[in-house]
Structure 1
Amino acid sequence: MEKFKGENVTLIAGSTWKPDEELLAAFINNNSNVKYIIAPHEVAPANINRIQELLKKRAICFSKADISDIDTYDVLIIDSIGILSSLYQYGNIAYIGGGFGVGIHNILEAATFKLPVLFGPNYLKFKEAVDLVNEKGAFPIQNFSELEALLNRLLNDKKSLQKASEICKKYIENNVGSTKIIINKVFNKKE
């Protein structure tokens, strides 16, 4: 991952579905100087092939990547399951899929690594997403033009990216221990 990323800003798109992938591909195909990691929710070969066909940039699947030339690719498609959470540490911005369907996937994994998070409009039943949107560490989008505008701002304005990253970091730090608090409340335990 370090060789793939190099010194480039990296966008990690996790748990994506077809509507997410179509929007992302439109952005990827028209933007340079950024590396992209796409970890689709569905890793069946037919879906991986569909994603590759959407892309006009040099793309390679994780299972076929070779350390000797991985840095020559613009897009790395994760065609296996179970490694997404360990990839966020290499990113600068995250796009979390599912927001154009029944709802977004976990955003806290990305926020833990200070990645500002973008996602589709169906996020309101997730408290952490609502909180981070209100604090300006996460950004919902409705369509391609909103995705493009947000990504361009975060990619081209280092202060905006840094501010959103710090908001995510602070949110995670302020909510460490939440699980223990909830369990104690549910089971009427006292500290």
Structure 2
Amino acid sequence: MGIRLYRAAAGFAAGVGNNKKAVLWLEGRRNMWPGLATAMEGDQPVVWVHAASLGEFEQGRPVLEAIREQYPGHRILLTFFSPSGYEVRKDYPGADYVCYLPLDTPENARRFLDLVKPRLAIFIKYEFWHHFLSGLNARNIPVLLISGIFRRDQPFFRVYGGLFRRLLQGMDHLFVQDEDSLTLLHNIGIQHVTLAGDTRFDRVWALRNNPVRYPNVRRFLHTDNVLVAGSTWEEDEKLLAEWWYNGGRQNRQLILAPHEISEARLKQIETLFPDAVRYSVCGQSTRDAVLLVDNVGMLSALYNYGRIAYVGGGFGKAGIHNLLEPAAYGKPVIIGPVYHQYHEARMLVQLKGAMVIDNVEGLQRNIAALRDEYYYRQTAEINTRFVEEHQGATRKVMDYIQEKGFLTVVQE
């Protein structure tokens, strides 16, 4: 009932509210079945990898690419729940086919599994769809959760959570990020779990070692003294604007990559930053102050162009976004006060690689402190070492797949 109500709400948002994401969410699912049926023709075995959105995809990407390399005779089907993942990665060359995940109903799950017949299913971080997981379990198809993260307030750990606990019990193995998740699962009798760490560390370290270059960005910048503000929300942007126009822009440039890039949001940011230039037209501009990134997918590489990183989200209920990307490049990271639910953020704050601010004065104070070269290098080294030392989650997952014989080397 909840799934069907969600579908109705999406339809309302698309039709009455003219919500772009809702329109994409509906249209992508409406036309998916014929393409999926064609893509799944033939006898080549399939590995199904599912991610909620873009962040989860990037998290699971090291495992997906390791499967592609180690088991080249298998096709990879990549599904997304959210348009923010699918629309950015629908042409991802590492998968043989990319589509939306159908709504989790008994009919859709049965039809999907009849078409795909996966040899192995991999879910990333926290995707738990009852009918799909039940269908996989009934067909004896192995299911792995990778980079799982669990919190005490989730339904699995509530009195009424029996249905949800059975979903976890039906999985073949769960690879979790931290000790808290391991302990929570053990306390409810889930023993088939491994503390593997976070595959994001493998991903961001690979990006560091093979950085993407953007010539337009390099041409736009006339100084190395650059602050890259990524995944920002309205509160972040207001704070940054106050700092920027009260001395912050002196001998400095700012790259601003907001979390949402709708036209309304971009115009709102341009009101705060009148001298902003959108990336899509920056090659035509003679101005050189604020670069406003109006696309998705560049941010992880953009951090490498900065001297300092500001990671947004820390002034909202959801909390900060991914600070491992700038940390891997050895950039000191500044974040807002809402970060405690993220293990890597707590660790970097404790190690003093990330600095927490509550207001614009805190931002000014920390940026001023980072002018000291010794302090700057020390902070940068903390972040680089932290990411480097926490690699290895992908290897643990791949070793388990090989040990269990879920996949075999197939001659193409």
Alignment of 1:43 with 2:261, yes or no, is yes
2:254 aligns to what SS in structure 1? Answer: strand
The reply to whether residue 97 of structure 1 matches residue 97 of structure 2 is: no
Aligned position for 2:271:
53
The aligned counterpart of 1:110 is 326
CA distance in 1, matches of 2:333, 2:353: 7
In the alignment, does 2:353 pair up with 1:137? Answer: yes
Alignment TM-score, normalising by the size of structure 1: 0.88
Q: Distance in 1 between matches of 2:388 and 2:285?
A: 38
Quick one: distance in 2 between partners of 1:174 and 1:123? 21
SS in 2 for 1:100: coil
CA contact (8 A) 2:231 2:259 kept: yes
Matched, 1:173 2:388: yes
Residue 23 of structure 1 aligns to a residue whose secondary structure is: helix
> Which residue does 1:151 correspond to in 2?
367
Match of 2:344 in 1: 128
Matches within 5 A, 1:26-41: 26-29=242-245, 30-31=247-248, 32-41=250-259
Amino acid at match of 2:228: I
CA offsets per residue over residues 123-175 of structure 1, 9 Å max, x none?
11111111111111101111111111111211x22222211111111111111
State the alpha-carbon separation in 2 of the partners of residues 115 and 3 from structure 1: 21
TM-score (normalised: structure 2): 0.42
CA distance in structure 1 between the aligned counterparts of 2:332 and 2:393, rounded to whole angstroms: 21
Please report how far the alpha carbon of residue 184 of structure 1 lies from its aligned counterpart in structure 2 after TM superposition: 7.6
Unaligned regions of 5+ residues in structure 1, if any?
Answer: none
Structure 2: how far apart are the matches of 1:163 and 1:117? Answer: 13
Correspondence for 2:233 among 7, 10, 17: 17
Paired residue secondary structure (1:15): strand
Q: What do the CA deviations read for 1:45-88 (whole angstroms, capped 9, x no partner)? A: 121111111125x320101111673xx41110001111111111
Deviation at 1:5, TM superposition (A): 2.4
**Residue in structure 2 matching 1:162, options 365, 374, 377:** 377
Higher relative contact order (CA 8 A, sep 6+): 1
Unmatched 5+ stretches in structure 2: 1-216, 405-412
Q: How does 1:65-76 map to 2 (within 5 A)?
A: 65-66=282-283, 69=286, 72-76=287-291
Over 3 Å off, 4+ runs: 178-181, 183-187
Q: Which one-letter code corresponds to 2:278 in the other structure?
A: C
In structure 1, what residue type is equivalent to 2:256? I
Question: Match for 1:63 among 259, 280, 289?
Answer: 280
The letter for the 1-side match of 2:271 is E
Contact 1:99 1:120 in 2 (8 A): yes
The number of equivalent residue pairs is 184
Percent identity among equivalent residues?
39
Structure whose CA Rg is larger: 2
Q: Give 1:186 shift.
A: 8.8
